[in-house]
A = this chain, B = another copy of it.
Amino acid sequence: MTELRTLKVALLGCGNVGAQVARILMDDADTLASRTGAHLQLAGIAVRNIDAEREVDLPRDLFTTDAETLVKDADLVIELMGGLEPARSLILAAIQNGASVVTGNKALLAADGPALYEEADKAGVELSYEAAVAGAIPILRPIRDSLSGDRITRVLGIVNGTTNFILDQMDSTGAQFADALAEAQRLGYAEADPTADVEGLDAAAKAAILASLSFHTRFDLANVHCEGITGVSAADIAAAKEAGFVIKLLAIAEQLTDADGDDGVSVRVHPTLLPREHPLAAVRGAFNAVFIEAENAGELMFYGQGAGGTPTASAVLGDLVSAARRIVLGGPGRIESTTGHVPAFPIDAVTTSYYIGLDVADQPGVLARIAQLFAEHGVSIEIMRQTIHRDADSNVESAELRIVTHRASEAALAATVKAVKGLDVINSVTSVLRVEGV
């Protein structure tokens, strides 16, 4: 056998994912060498605290607190520290030293990706980040490479396992949000401070990355309209269920034409009703999935584990092997594609179907008055369903009205809801949620 060259790999960060990456680099060294044509030698692991407890038993002499020195000597750098600094500076240093970089840092990419891509292009190295979106699911490479001859029109993603687990719990057990969150925390699916997940911020960073690749244009967090799931009630879920829908937190990026006839893209994250027969509706628990509509390919879906140390390590290693192969075989780095030049639209430019739940007085003519009011605001009703409840003790009747609209603008819908609230026959507006996939 011919002698293989050795490529030095620096690992920055040794949390869940990092520890598994280190383990696989050592356990599967021979397989990885045969696939890349080079020994991938784990040169060191930079951490803040060498003595911290870790999931995997790793040789102590691999650890260092001096990330700068470790990066200087590496051919390949894997950044799994998270956060903006020092991750950004270390990645830039690696690129400037001619190392290819693999990162899973969605927050950094969503905040500052373009500057990093430019540096990588300039230095002729690869910057890859499959692990940053939807964990183990190969989604970025298919969008960038496999669909490079097609035009993506829409991306709908379940890209946050924590919120999907919570919504799934609420759907299957009838639990309230707070109880489902507590259960997710107990099982380790949600962090002690769940803000980034439940407020949709994690999904928003992923939405920006997905939108940038899908529409060949740079989008960042500021372009993403973001609503979390803290306002979703057990009653919302139950009503959706009865109407044949399931509520999912979706990251959405879609091509659309605004009221002025201009083409652009809306990037947004919000709780969304999906018909139960939609392929995304069956994505349960902590799983992730990304549903893509493309002009020629039609509907595609990519499904798998969205988090977890070992699954996410698979995505990191796929990027690492690809980058290493390129070093061995030569050839250009992967180029950022920014030929799309489409503007990001604010949420006002979006038209979707809406689901509206109303608690109304049970009087003759109520339906007609509400329908009339929707029509006056140019919002067309697709489905209107009234359920009468009679309280057995008090014998008082109340009526619940559920409306699904045709596509309407955010503004028209808001004006309609405001007007509906002013009607004397309305006790309360119980929910207003967007609907996709109908």
Contacts and interface: CB of A to CB of B under 8 A. Distances in A.
Interface string A191-219: 00000000000000000000000001000
A296 B310 contact: yes
Given A138-B147, A279-B282, A305 B299 contact: yes
A332 B332 CA distance: 9
Contacts of A294: 136, 314
Contact of A31 (B151, B311, B321): B151
Interface string A299-336: 11111110010110111111111100110011110010
Interface string A265-297: 000000000000001001000000000001011
Contact of A297 (B304, B319, B325): B304
A141 B145 contact: yes
Nearest to A335: B329
A301 B298 contact: no
A303 B150 CA distance: 17
Contact of A145 (B31, B279, B318): B318
A141 B146 CA distance: 7
Interface in A363-415: none
B300 A137 contact: yes
A-side interface size class: 35 or more
A34 B138 contact: no
A92 interface: no
A339 interface: yes
Q: Which of A148, A216, A279, A319 has the most chain B CB within a 10 Å cutoff?
A: A148
A206 B303 CA distance: 21
A236 interface: no
Given A148-B35, A301-B304, A136 B296 contact: yes
Contact of A331 (B34, B147, B148, B326): B326
Nearest to A135: B297
A149 B296 contact: no
Interface in A231-283: 279, 282
A311 B296 contact: yes
A188 interface: no
Copies of this protein, total: 2
Contacts of A315: 146, 297
A317 B326 CA distance: 23
A325 B314 CA distance: 27
B146 A318 contact: yes
Given A149-B32, A151-B28, A138 B300 contact: yes
A76 to B, nearest CB: 12
B303 A300 contact: yes
Nearest to A283: B279
Contacts of A308: 298
A35 B339 CA distance: 7
Interface string A336-347: 010100000000
Contacts of A151: 28, 31
A130 interface: yes
Contact of A149 (B145, B318, B335): B318
Contact of A322 (B136, B148, B314, B317): B148
Contacts of A321: 148-149
Contacts of A331: 326, 329-332
Contact of A332 (B24, B35, B330, B335): B330
A142 interface: yes
Nearest to A319: B149
Contacts of A141: 141-142, 145-146
A130 B142 CA distance: 11
16 contacts: A20-B296, A35-B337, A136-B298, A137-B300, A138-B146, A138-B147, A142-B146, A146-B315, A149-B316, A150-B314, A150-B317, A298-B304, A299-B305, A301-B302, A301-B303, A302-B302
Interface of A: 20, 24, 28, 31-32, 34-35, 130, 136-138, 141-142, 145-151, 216, 279, 282, 294, 296-305, 308, 310-311, 313-322, 325-326, 329-332, 335, 337, 339
